[in-house]
Amino acid sequence: MKNEQWADAGEERVGSQRGMKVGMRRVWARAARYRGAVQALSALVLNSYFTQRITKGLPCPALNCYACPAAAFACPIGSLQHFIERRKVPLYVLGAVGLVGALTGRASCGWFCPFGWLQELVYKIPTPKLRLPNRFNWTRYVALGVLAVALPFVTRESWFCKLCPAGTLEAGIPMALLFADIRAMVGTLYWIKLGILGAFLAWMSVTRRPFCRWACPLGALWSPFNPVSSFRLRVEQERCTRCGRCQDVCPVDIRVYENAASGACIQCMECVGVCPEECISVTSPSWSLADDRGYG
Amino acid sequence: MDRERRGFVVNRVLIVLAVAAILAGLTFDQWQIVLRNAILL
């Protein structure tokens, strides 16, 4: 009799956990529908100008150029290079980037990065599309290691900032348009920067988020956090039919069912709502195995 | 230790390390360095 009661209580608990999982999955699926609005709001807040005297000392959770006249926060990659140039250990910047990574993985790329949002908007332009495999996406680690760490250390100059297409768009072009003395300084490097921006704009109209996948050093810093972050995707492999619907809606074109905690995933949650088998969920690591917290 | 628990421990250790790094950076006035650099640009 007692055993039956235990079994009933156990079933009830599993049932309620499953119910909570399904409910949270719907919340995430609904939230993903408003992701565009969150990205627009984030672009506005990160470039809201008026708070910059105080907030520019805070690294923002996105690649947003702080040389932009309206930028309200510091770019983490720009700040990182500044410390490396001065041969100082960037404890504060790495701590801020690490905290965001440990809490959310690469979710900032999917929800808050203005340059990521721009790439998604440009991809909506009706052009022939080119689907590229993620096989060579380790190149973003090269961008981080060479342009944002090694070259600034050796030459004492911020090489990634010099070539960054986000910086050209948000700061290089507006500053040259606004100030005559900056216009007078325009030289070969400026035209190289414009060429890089033009190439990425053309590429992002045919391929999903090329800069995030192959060139972003901030994405490279956050990628290793994906498998150990407080929130991450999980696929119930036994229910997955590998229909590919998740890859069709994925802004970085990954097969979620192959590795749900992949470093390439930007945790936009677009795949959670489209899975016909409802086998993609958001989980959080927990100590107690019996209390597997499913957040959708 | 199984994978789930290891993930939990690594996650919490990373959060503590990140907060410690921020606090250490603040004691070396790195917030001011970031602010000054960002405003001077």
Average pLDDT, chain B: 91
Q: Is residue A208 part of a domain?
A: yes
Mark whether A115 and A160 lie in a shared domain.
Answer: yes
Q: Establish if A295 touches chain B: CB-CB under 8 angstroms.
A: no
Mark whether A268 and A238 lie in a shared domain.
Answer: yes
Mark whether A6 and A130 lie in a shared domain.
Answer: no
Mean pLDDT calculated for residue range A125-145: 94
Q: Of A189, A204, A224, which residue sits at a domain end? A: A224
- For residue A205, give how far its alpha carbon lies from the nearest alpha carbon of chain B (Å): 31
pLDDT at A262 (0 to 100): 93
* DSSP class per residue in A100-135: HHHHHTTHHHHHT-HHHHHHHHHHTS-S------GG
Mark whether A187 and A242 lie in a shared domain.
Answer: no
C-alpha to C-alpha distances, A145 to A71, A158, A211, A218, A251, nearest whole angstrom: 26, 13, 16, 11, 25
Q: Is residue A294 part of a domain?
A: no
Q: Establish if A99 touches chain B: CB-CB under 8 angstroms.
A: yes
Mark whether A58 and A134 lie in a shared domain.
Answer: yes
What is the total count of domains within chain A? 2
Cβ-Cβ contacts under 8 Å, B16 against chain A: none
Range of the domain at A80: 36-224
Mean pLDDT calculated for residue range A19-27: 73
The reply to whether residue A92 touches residue B32, judged by beta carbons under 8 angstroms, is no
Whether residue A55 contacts residue A71, with contact meaning beta carbons closer than 8 Å, is answered with no
* DSSP class per residue in A165-194: HHHIIIIIHHHHHH-HHHHHT--HHHHHHH
Position A190: which residue type?
A: Y
Mark whether A123 and A265 lie in a shared domain.
Answer: no
Tens of pLDDT along A207-260? 999 999 999 999 999 999 999 999 889 999 999 999 999 999 999 999 999 999
Q: A252: closest CA among A276, A222, A277?
A: A222
Position A182: which residue type?
A: I
pLDDT of A269 higher than 50: yes
Q: Of A202, A224, A246, which residue sits at a domain end? A: A224
Mark whether A138 and A190 lie in a shared domain.
Answer: yes
Q: What angle do CA B5, B6, B10 make, to 5 degrees?
A: 120
Tens of pLDDT along A55-100? 999 999 999 999 998 999 999 999 999 999 999 999 999 999 999 9
Q: Is residue A290 part of a domain?
A: no
* DSSP class per residue in A79-104: HHHHHHHTT---HHHHHHHHHHHHHH
What band does A17 get if pLDDT is binned at 50, 70 and 90? low
Q: Is residue A275 part of a domain?
A: yes
pLDDT at A51 (0 to 100): 87
Mark whether A109 and A153 lie in a shared domain.
Answer: yes
Q: Which residue has the higher pLDDT, A289 or A211?
A: A211
Q: Is residue A6 part of a domain?
A: yes
> Which A residues, 110 through 169, put their C-beta within 8 Å of a C-beta on chain B?
none
Mean pLDDT calculated for residue range A11-16: 57
Mark whether A151 and A249 lie in a shared domain.
Answer: no
Q: Establish if B16 touches chain A: CB-CB under 8 angstroms.
A: no
Q: What is the pTM of this model?
A: 0.89
For helices A188-206 and A114-123, the axis angle rounded to 10 degrees is 60
C-alpha span between A232 and A262 (Å, rounded): 10
Q: Is residue A295 part of a domain?
A: no
End-to-end CA distance of chain B: 49
Q: Is residue A289 part of a domain?
A: no
Q: Establish if A105 touches chain B: CB-CB under 8 angstroms.
A: no
